[in-house]
Structure 1
Amino acid sequence: MKPVLTGTPPIKAIREYVEARILSPDDLRGALQLAMRLEFATIPPYLCAEWSVRHDPDRTADVVHRVVIQEMNHFALAGNLLTAVGGRPSVAHADFLPVYPANELPGGIPQELPVDLKPLVQDQLAVFMQIEYPDFPPVARLEEAPPTIGAFYDTIIETFRETNPEIDPAALAVEVPQAPPIRTVADAIETIDRIKREGEGVSDSPSSPTGGATSHAHYYLFKELYVGKRLIKVGDEWSFTGAPITLPDVHPFGPSAAEPELSLEFRRILTGLMTGLESCWTTPGAEPDVSAMFDLRSAGQDLIERGIRPDFTWLDTRR
């Protein structure tokens, strides 16, 4: 028997999920909806940094783009997990889109450095490193720190293992490269592990900053750019002592009302894109609108080249 499709239950803070554990089906669905919000919240800052690049001798924009693609995949995978356990992803509304600058990530994860939409400069890379900070050595968090994203995903994995929730193998899903369909609890656990591994690295090998077979985890990719040195292995230790990296020249930008029609067009594309994405999990046969993604990129780059910060807010098209 497949799970009964439900709406999105109330979402709790990450601390509540981690400390009380996730036991009920509704709590699991709420946690997965929160996972979607968490993964999406990083995408606008990373996109704006990528779009700001003008002259890029060391192809740093490619590094940011690689992270953006992985975050988009993680967002989609969280949605696929939610439908697999009978949930209904809810992303096509104003409240889903984060407000920047943000002093905390969705779920109540405090950020000492505000998360904002800025060019790809060293100060912004420090913000990105803060977002992606790993849970384990050699860059471990303090024990008294609030629950982390990694601990949150570990709690979700524990819930799947202990409660063995009913999985709908025919649930609507967004196709993600190199991600098998979620047909069993084991598939669900592997999917969450992939999200955590690519973002934070391999927790059972803390001396290795690897997030996948061919790439470092996000924190280390950003730190390479921040310190201006490639991360290399010297003997048994990793260190930022490799080839030098030069940060790019960037377009400065900020909030502006000088070109309202351009900002409205960006918001219109974004709203249509989010509406189409939600339909992929609710309407049989719907697929992501790839052309809208390219349109958003083009509109965002145009704004930034004019010195205008892209406005990642909902546009009510019913008016």
Structure 2
Amino acid sequence: MKTVREYVEAETLSLDDLKGALQLAMRLEFATIPPYLCAQWSVKNDPDRTEGVLHGIVSQEMQHFALAGNLLTAIGGLPSIANAAFLPAYPISELPGGIPQKLPVDLKPLTKDQLAVFMQIEYPEFPPIALAVEQRPATIGAFYDTISAAFKSLDPVIVQNAHAVDVPFANPIRSVTDAIDTIERIKSEGEGSQGSPDQPSGEGGGHAHYYLFKELFVQKRLVKVGDQWSFSGDPVALPEVYEFASSSAQPSPSVEFSRTLTRLLIHLEACWTAGDPVDVATMFQLKIAGQDLIKQGIRPEFRWDGGAL
């Protein structure tokens, strides 16, 4: 499988390349969900409703994952998520596709150190917060730009009756223009819009993920003073959290959680391959099982479990 850098540096992408890039996009979007979920589930006493902020971010990441799958089926591809290789083995030092992470991405409680990891994942590639232009690694934003450019250059046939997952406020993908708009939504909600940490266009859902995480990290709200944005608003109190760690007990106390996750991935894949409805009940079972483990001080293990088949 190609890396993000290989896709970004390619002069042109074939239709098969575009399908491969969208499958990789699904892996990238999913890789953020377990760390964000564990941080959300770790929240105990919450004076400033941080759990709600994390819930909103996780919900959008799930939507981005679903939108990437919808883009793939729209051009005749089939998502492959119901397998052990789809799941990252945390901690990871790079995101799927070879995007290096200086701070390892792991499953930990919500702390300032973990918020620094989350900010690293969502780091924008433009002012007012920008990476160095020279010799910078390929970013998630550049990767999505490459996918958008491929839709424009290839002008692929859009499958009008493709199986898709319904996503709030998302139009069905019926044209290349719809596909490009979908990609822009994923980008803007994650790292923000170019030029300012403004709200995602047309969604009214608040700041992009990077800036939401940074509000928690600096413990100040992001506000606009005149024409400038700054973290100088009301103070933010971080919540008290449950501490948790991996368990060496046998059998693993996380085995039922992993089996529930495996069933969920199987059912989700069937949404795109067979048109099945989203299995909301299993999603809630996973949440309850994960929260119960964390309250016991045990890390939920996001692993494939063949025993669930």
Contact in 2 for aligned 1:209/1:220 (Cα 8 Å): no
Are 1:258 and 2:249 counterparts? yes
1:73-128, Cα deviation, whole Å (9 max, x unpaired): 00000000000111010000000001100000001000000000000111000000
Match of 1:96 in 2: 86
Q: 1:288 to 1:259 in 2, by over 3 A?
A: farther
- CA distance, structure 2, for counterparts of residue 90 and residue 151 of structure 1: 23
Instruction: Give the deviation of 1:288 after TM superposition.
Output: 1.0
- CA distance, structure 2, for counterparts of residue 22 and residue 248 of structure 1: 47
Match of 1:246 in 2: 237
Superposed, which structure 2 residues align to 1:178-257 within 5 Å?
Answer: 178-203=169-194, 206-212=195-201, 213-257=204-248
1:243-284, Cα deviation, whole Å (9 max, x unpaired): 000100000000003373531110110000000000001113
Aligned to 1:42, the other structure's residue is in SS state helix
Instruction: Give the deviation of 1:163 after TM superposition.
Output: 1.2
Contact in 2 for aligned 1:271/1:315 (Cα 8 Å): yes
Alignment partner of 1:39 out of 13, 16, 29: 29
Match of 1:3 in 2: none
Instruction: Give the deviation of 1:133 after TM superposition.
Output: 0.2
- CA distance, structure 1, for counterparts of residue 196 and residue 37 of structure 2: 30
**AA in 1 matched with 2:20:** G
Unaligned runs of 5+ in 2: none
Match of 2:157 in 1: 166
Instruction: Give the deviation of 1:23 after TM superposition.
Output: 1.9
- CA distance, structure 2, for counterparts of residue 162 and residue 222 of structure 1: 35
Contact in 1 for aligned 2:257/2:289 (Cα 8 Å): yes
1:183-242, Cα deviation, whole Å (9 max, x unpaired): 111111111111011111112xx1343334331000000000000000000111000010
Match of 1:79 in 2: 69
- CA distance, structure 2, for counterparts of residue 105 and residue 211 of structure 1: 24
Instruction: Give the deviation of 1:135 after TM superposition.
Output: 1.0
TM-score, reference length from structure 2: 0.97
- Once superposed, what is the RMSD of the aligned Cα atoms? 1.2
- CA distance, structure 2, for counterparts of residue 124 and residue 37 of structure 1: 21
Contact in 2 for aligned 1:41/1:106 (Cα 8 Å): yes
Aligned to 1:127, the other structure's residue is in SS state helix
- CA distance, structure 2, for counterparts of residue 211 and residue 252 of structure 1: 33
**AA in 1 matched with 2:253:** L
- CA distance, structure 2, for counterparts of residue 197 and residue 103 of structure 1: 25
Q: 1:62 to 1:260 in 2, by over 3 A?
A: farther
Runs of 4 or more, structure 1, over 6 Å off, are none
Q: 1:19 to 1:170 in 2, by over 3 A?
A: same
Match of 2:292 in 1: 302
- CA distance, structure 2, for counterparts of residue 232 and residue 184 of structure 1: 37
- CA distance, structure 1, for counterparts of residue 240 and residue 12 of structure 2: 46
Superposed, which structure 2 residues align to 1:101-112 within 5 Å?
Answer: 101-112=91-102
Are 1:280 and 2:279 counterparts? no
- CA distance, structure 1, for counterparts of residue 269 and residue 5 of structure 2: 27
Q: Equivalent pairs: percent with the same residue? A: 64
Which of 210-219 and 123-132 deviates more?
A: 210-219
Superposed, which structure 2 residues align to 1:11-26 within 5 Å?
Answer: 11-26=1-16
- CA distance, structure 2, for counterparts of residue 214 and residue 83 of structure 1: 27
Q: 1:281 to 1:108 in 2, by over 3 A?
A: same
| Paired residues, number | 306
Instruction: Give the deviation of 1:147 after TM superposition.
Output: 1.0
- CA distance, structure 1, for counterparts of residue 187 and residue 12 of structure 2: 18
- CA distance, structure 2, for counterparts of residue 45 and residue 267 of structure 1: 15
Instruction: Give the deviation of 1:54 after TM superposition.
Output: 0.6
Unaligned runs of 5+ in 1: 1-10
Contact in 2 for aligned 1:22/1:156 (Cα 8 Å): no
Contact in 2 for aligned 1:13/1:107 (Cα 8 Å): yes
- CA distance, structure 2, for counterparts of residue 194 and residue 318 of structure 1: 35
